[in-house]
Structure 1
Amino acid sequence: MADDREILPLDARLLSEAIFELNVSRRNVNIYPPGHPSVEKSLDKAFDSLERLFEVRPTITFAVAKDTIMIDDSTLDKKNTAFREFALHISGMNIASVTLRAGLTRDELYKFLSFLSVDTKELTPEALQEILDGYGLLHIDVGFIDYDAFSFGEGMTEQGDGGAAGGTAGPGLWERYVRGLLDGTLQTDGASDVIQNIPPETLAEMLNETDPGKIKEAGCERVINTYMKRSAKKAFSSGELARLIDFISKLRPELKRQFLSSAINNVTTDIRSTERALREISVDKIIELLSTIDEQQVTIPAALKNLLDKFSKFYQLGSEDTTFGDSIIADDIFLSPDVVTLLGKGDFESYVTDVYQKEIERVLWFDVSEVASKELEELRKSCSDELVERYFNQTMLELISSDIIAEDEYEYLINTIKDEAAQFIETGQYGQVLKIFRVIEANISKKKFPDISLEAIKYYKSAEFIAQFIESLRIIGRQAREDAQQLCDYYGERIIEPLIEALVVEESQSIRHFLISLITNFGDKAIPAAIKHISDSRWFVKRNMLHILNECGSKEVLPHVRPYCHHENPKVSFEAIKCLLKEGDAYGVNALRGYLHSENRELVEQAVALAGIYKVKELVPDLIQMLRKKGITGKDIYEKIPIVRALGQIGDPQALDAVRKALSTRSILFKNAVERLKEAIYRSLRYYPYEHVRDLVEKGLKSKNERIRHDSMRIKEARSN
């Protein structure tokens, strides 16, 4: 059995190969339609790599922080392009960790890679979790980043340390890095970017919770070197030295001596950088450092001692200037007694307040490079080819709108503007093209050289120009969505058919989504064209047309949709069922009921997910019957999890008797599967009326399972609020 295998260290070669193949397959799934040879080939390779890994250990969990992948407190090579690309994409979706378990099917892997293609720009982690739940992944857990849940401390469990929400999450990412540095299990060259982001007081707080006896000298050295970004080729700055002083000052006394010794060893390796940094930081910081060294009685090398003595004498030195009578001679200038009194140590604070002193320090420390770079960037923008073209176009539009040009000049400018319009189309500047159309149409309404103006508008509405526009939409349109939609609105219904024809032959999934969004924006005006193409023999064309009808349609389209509920390709039939369920059509409910009782497990899972998403109350009895089915194997128990989730989304209290029965499930051989089922049940309780699940929530608060306690507390707090 998979659960009985010994958990061994991951083989580096197998792991590298698996991550590489996952990244390749992810890109192909995003680019090509299902069933495409490139998708099938890369998916096979990724699945085979994971299968080989599962032979070594039954569970693989990796965490992601920015551009770094971490497994078992070690980081993969950040210089590897595939690792870095995969990490950046995963972290860009606010994913903190991914767990893959033995038993993972090829179809589940494809669904997961499809999920990674979801556009997450405007989605919250909760919304992403809902989308992920819809895929019904039994052997993959995804932990989403929950920035409010980061906490640090010794002795935290995996379940209790919240670095992510909605899935299996390891310890807090910052704490994992620091712990890895202390233990020597983390590559320091891959940790600097993360460690540098930790505020000094937070880093000190994390270490203050650690047993001093477990912190070795080498661990201190690694933390200090990483926090200061030290290397043999790089000098440290005054800012890094100030951060180090702040960090040490916040440590507990028994830790302060350990880390202060490591810090002294660090800064002594480059005494010139140390002197330069000391000259640039504030007097208060130097005094703080001297006080800490004196307090801890730390032995320091002679070179550093001489340097510190030099600075301490400099700041404590009294006035020994040459005097003449009651005046001081400074640089051959006589300073009067009044000025001497003003600059004296005793009266300085009376004239220069703390607020004024801070203002002076802000001026001294102000970095002008950022301001200069912004001004330089603005200058570059003002000289860019795109901006120059816009100004040129604006000038020509003003000329053809004026009354100072003759007919031949007008015709010349109109032809020149045609060339500019073609350029704007190629570069995705659809707003500029729209300006051209409006100016020429305004001239037509004024009857200004009407023959020339009408001929120009006729050209812009020709099949040739619209084809150029469609091709531009495919290549660059997604970068200017709003302007692209406005230009489509200008063309109106005449552009719907060309857009659908482009959709039919488009291979890129992301471009298909963009074209569909442009089409569905026309609402019911797009219905006739979609119905026309739904009879196409290619299944993916049927699916896309059904999707358009689902977005744009109404009850009038249902007769055209019903025949496809039992299509030989499930992707077509389920798209048709979605369209019917959206309108509450009974035919769609019955078709979905048929798939619930299918012999094909994948079809059953899709039907269960749709029943929950569309809250089909008519199918609650069927789902209850499926939930009551006795589970013999671990697979049977896992298969109940999507059913529990769907019943929860529907939220019908009549399902709670079956849910309570499922909570009483016991199994000696499949304890892990039973725990996952119970966790899914408690996650689903938030959808039911609270008065019907109050007793379950109270029991959950006393559970030994951290996730169940957490979900129960959230439900109770939501009820209180």
Structure 2
Amino acid sequence: MEQSIVNDFLKEIAVGFRSAKSYPPGHPVMDKVINNTITHLNKLFAEIPEFSMYFLEQTVIFQDQKFDMARNIAVKSLLDTFRKIEVNSLTFESGVSSDDIRNMYEVISSPKLKIKQYGSVADMLVSKGTTKIKINAVKFGIQTGGAVQMTTAKPEAVKSQSEIVEAIKNLKDLVEAGITGLELKTKFSEVARDIASAPAQSRQSYSEAVARILEQLPAEHRIELLRDVELKPFVLKLLSKLKDETLVELIMAKAEQKGDKDFKGIISGMGEEKFARIMPVLKEKIPDVYKYLAQLGLVLSEKMSTTVSKEDLRNSIIPYYNMLDSQNAHVREEGLKSLITIAGRFVKQGNYEMADEIIQRITAAIEQESVAMVLTEVIDQLRELYNLCAANKQKKSCDKLLEPFNKILGRGGLSVQFKKKVIKFLSETGNRIVLPMLFSFLWESGIYPEVRTAIVKFGKDAVSEALLTLKEAEEMFLRTKLVDILKNIGKESIEILIENLDSGEWFLRRNIIAILGEIGDQSIVDRLLPYLEDEDDRVRLELVRTFRRLGYESGLLKALKDVSIEVKTEALKGLRKSVDEEKVKELLSLFKEKGDSLHTELLGLIGHKRVAEAAEPIAEFLKSLESRDDTAAEELKEVGIMTLAKLKTKKVRIILEQLKLSKDRTLKTLAAEALKRIS
């Protein structure tokens, strides 16, 4: 194993440790760290299916190699931390998931007091359901009276090529001389140790030579020799070079010894062709071999699943299906995670039939699962499986994975945290069938920002669902949310919104027009003009407000002909900034129409533009108010006099002098005060 690969992996763990100290689980930074760690871990797994790393002061022992980390500041700091929290070793087995990595970082970054609540750092990791990563699974030194005496072996000298060749020759001489027993075992162990320390490029030729020598032994002696040998990486490679019959006998011996770890190592080290050849023989000798391999996490690797029958594959998955029926929630969770991983492997291999069968069981189990925490823990893996199915264009499987959430979301008592996680998952699928589920969250409180973000991601695909919900919505709070969502979708929704303007419900037409105004696309104004003839004045009023937002002067001028005073008043408000003095003169005839709010707005417009020609029409309007003493009329008299005073012309002074003689006390007083101000 090259030191650089081990160094890179340890550096990544150091980065992950520092990140876990600063960011909570689920943060994008942590997600990136976890993905990077998995990438480095897979590089190691490519050479060895399972490994342990031992930490002694500033030294890392990887399998049978030692690496000095004294000059690697990041890793040295990590080792110091491991020493403080009593992490002496880490063991990684094939099948490590992102959740396992996440749990590892959470544990090693936890304060000592928190760790003590679980007993030890190893116990804390186990409590989180992580079984593929183990802390302190391997002890160092010699146990004496319950204490572990740490010993550091001196690194053995690397043998030269000639020395290794000579050692292999000596082994051959012993075999040819018929010498067996302890002497042969000792010599074989020496040769194995020498080859393990040799350069990687030389090991294959050495292992092939040793394999040929071992094949010369009688079968019983050969198995006896290999039965108890330590399965270091080199030895595993050597075993893969043995004849099929020898491997079968060795595997049988390991099965009898209950040597699961060795059994797993031998199988993992074989080539695909050799595996395909020996499995039928193994099946005859061990009828339940596939179930056994499944329990070891091997049966569904790409190597195995492509070389065994569908019936055998189905049988091998039964142990995982049985886990789904457990009374223990943690066991059910592990069963689901395992099946999700298995289904993903089948999808990658293009074995969609097997993947579909497993997905059926997964979705049924998820739908029936009563413990929300179990569902929370598997959502990340479900997302990965969904993405795999989508990438392989398995739409049926994608839809199937989403179906259980219809029922799950109908339950009560779900935590806000769980709902947010489901919302994120559904949103990231990009599948339109989740839209009704996402819209169902609008009735919930405390999660609206997340719901809106999720729905808006779907763009125009979400518009029709939003309009359908808006059409049926009776609660004001719900309508407000829906309008807000459609506004946030923006220009993508314009065409669908306009198509739905012919809806029979007035409030839907009104809301659509309001949304179009908020979107702010001026190119649509001409298409909205026909709705100035809408039968409902509330729709026309909203249209005028939209014209006002969009600065559509032509539409506002046309709205001044509306029969509704409120609509005309709103149109005048919109014209205040855009119309010129000449256009205001054309509007003076509005004084003859009814509507106090309309007249107030017209007076404001005249005052804003300082239209001197408006003096006489204002005077006539004020005289028409002499017979009224209601509050609205009194306010209009005050606004009218103030507007006249702003015009500051000789004609205005004459008009004020005339109004000073009015029989209306209010007009008389206001005119006198105005004359004093302009004198």
Instruction: Flag whether TM exceeds 0.5 (same fold).
Output: no
TM-score scaled to structure 1, two decimals?
0.31
Taking structure 2 as the reference length, the TM-score comes to: 0.33
- Name the larger-Rg structure: 2
